[in-house]
């Protein structure tokens, strides 16, 4: 049998080399962190230009460029409910140059709707900062269902189960689940009609093909001002400034009702905590620019400042909430 010899000097040199390599990598990482950002930062989003998510992205882009001192590029990769964009960021290098504009849909609803996601919405991302909370509003065509309050709406639909059709932007989307949550809390039975997107769904209400929709305030403002639809109640616990005359659903109809969509910025997993904090601070400062607040409030959005830890808790809480809504609605994961 051949004996293996042990050379203490060789082992010592090998350990020294490993330590030197480790120290070199640490120094390189520290230098890269100190220099960040030294080139453009890209925010990938899984929704098309002109969408409600894009309004938020464009609203924060300029102020964030001012804070960072480099260009901020919006990269549109729409498709699969935002999963294509999420997948791209989950695989990206965690160096702060590739970020994701995620939503309650991408990180709360999608895990319950899609059974084979190529990423984990909690384990594969670094939550950095929230941007805004977005209220949905119960929007009706009064020619189809002539009521003037959420209480009247509930009474009419409850008296006529399965008579009324509600629109959504697609199966498993936030607009469907907002209505499913509302129906479950109010004890209503309605027929769901999914459409290919937001414009088609809202137009179905305007044309009278469906009676109603739960949609973002900013999406229905135009039709509301034109008088083609009626807004009955906002889904958040507080009223929305841009439609102050519209009560909350919780005020008289369903006590405690509080449902909203949030938008926020994520990075890939494995980001250095110091880098995460730096990006968080830049985003929070950008959100406090008067022009940003004015623009977002005017479109029915409420700015939400947060720490990365608070954002992480929100993601976990929303994932659990929407999983229950999907289950209660009897939806089968795709």
What is the arithmetic mean of pLDDT over 156-176?
94
Full-model pTM? 0.86
Q: So what's the pLDDT on residue 183? A: 96
pLDDT reported for residue 168: 94
Taking only the tens place, the pLDDT of each residue in 251-284 is: 989 999 999 999 999 999 999 999 999 999 999 9
Return the pLDDT at 215.
92
Alpha helices (H) along the chain: 8-35, 52-68, 83-90, 104, 110-113, 150-159, 174-186, 198-207, 217-226, 249-252, 273-287, 290-298, 308-328
Confidence at residue 29, expressed as pLDDT on a 0 to 100 scale = 54
pLDDT at residue 333, as a whole number: 82
By mean pLDDT, which of 8-17, 94-103, 295-304 is the weakest?
Answer: 8-17
Indicate the range of 28-37, 73-82, 186-195, 284-293 predicted with least confidence.
28-37
Apex 142 CA angle, 138 and 146, nearest 5:
100
Task: Please give the distance of CA 256 from its chain centroid, rounded to a whole number.
Answer: 22
Distance from C-alpha of 137 to C-alpha of 151, rounded to nearest angstrom: 14
Residue 1 has a pLDDT of: 44
Q: What is the mean pLDDT of residues 4-20?
A: 59
Give mean pLDDT, residues 65-93: 95
pLDDT at 49: 85
Q: Write the pLDDT tens digit of every residue in 115-142.
A: 889 999 999 999 999 999 999 999 999 9
CA quadruple 7, 9, 10, 15: dihedral positive or negative?
positive
CA 245 from chain centre, in angstroms, equals 26
Taking only the tens place, the pLDDT of each residue in 298-316 is 888 999 999 999 999 999 9
More confident residue, 306 or 52: 306
* In the chain, % of residues over pLDDT 90: 77
Angle between helices 174-186 and 308-328 (to 10 degrees): 70
- Domains of the chain with CATH codes: 38-133+260-328 (3.40.190.150), 135-252 (3.40.190.10)
pLDDT, tens only, 200-233: 999 999 999 999 999 999 889 999 999 999 999 9
Rounded average pLDDT over 86-97: 98
What is the predicted pLDDT for the residue at 153? 98
Q: What is the mean pLDDT of residues 88-116?
A: 96
**Distance (Å, rounded) from C-alpha 316 to C-alpha 334?**
21
Q: Residue 74: which H helix or E strand, with range?
A: strand 72-76
- Using DSSP, state whether 19 is helix, strand or coil: helix
Mean of the per-residue pLDDT values of the chain = 91
Report whether pLDDT(242) > 60: yes
The DSSP call for residue 99 is: E
Provide the pLDDT confidence category of residue 10 given band limits of 50, 70 and 90.
low
Confidence of residue 32 (pLDDT cuts 50, 70, 90): low
- Per-residue confidence (pLDDT) for residue 26, from 0 to 100: 47
Comparing 193 with 34, the larger pLDDT belongs to 193
Sign of CA dihedral 205, 206, 209, 211: positive
pLDDT classification of 79: cutoffs 50, 70, 90: confident
């Amino acid at each position: 049998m051949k004996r293996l010899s042990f050379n203490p000097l060789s082992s010592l040199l090998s350990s020294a080399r490993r330590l030197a390599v480790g120290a070199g990598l640490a120094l390189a990482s520290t230098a890269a962190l100190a220099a960040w950002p030294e080139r453009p930062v890209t925010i990938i989003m899984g929704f098309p230009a002109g969408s409600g998510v894009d309004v938020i992205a464009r609203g924060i882009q300029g102020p964030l460029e001012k804070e960072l001192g480099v260009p901020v590029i919006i990269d549109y990769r729409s498709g699969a409910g935002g999963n294509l964009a999420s997948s791209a960021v989950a695989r990206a290098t965690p160096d702060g140059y590739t970020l994701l504009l995620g939503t309650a849909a991408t990180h709360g609803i999608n895990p319950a709707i899609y059974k084979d996601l190529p990423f984990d919405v909690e384990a594969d991302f670094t939550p950095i900062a929230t941007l805004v909370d977005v209220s949905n509003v119960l929007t009706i065509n009064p020619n189809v269902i002539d009521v003037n309050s959420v209480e009247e709406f509930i009474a009419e639909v409850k008296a006529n189960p399965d008579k009324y059709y509600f629109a959504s932007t697609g199966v498993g989307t936030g607009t469907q689940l907002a209505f499913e949550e509302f129906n479950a809390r109010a004890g209503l039975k309605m027929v769901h009609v999914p459409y290919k997107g937001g414009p088609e769904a809202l137009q179905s209400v305007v044309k009278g093909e469906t009676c109603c929709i739960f949609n973002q305030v900013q999406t229905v403002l135009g039709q509301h001002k034109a008088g083609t639809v009626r807004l009955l109640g906002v889904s958040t616990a507080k009223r929305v400034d841009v439609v102050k005359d519209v009560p909350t659903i919780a005020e008289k109809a369903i006590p405690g009702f509080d449902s909203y969509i949030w938008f926020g910025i994520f990075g890939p997993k494995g980001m250095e905590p110091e880098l995460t904090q730096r990006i968080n601070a830049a985003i929070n400062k950008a959100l406090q620019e008067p022009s940003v607040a004015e623009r977002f409030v005017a479109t029915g959005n409420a700015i939400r400042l947060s720490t990365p830890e608070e954002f992480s808790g929100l993601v976990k809480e929303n994932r659990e909430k929407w999983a229950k809504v999907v289950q209660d609605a009897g939806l089968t994961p795709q």
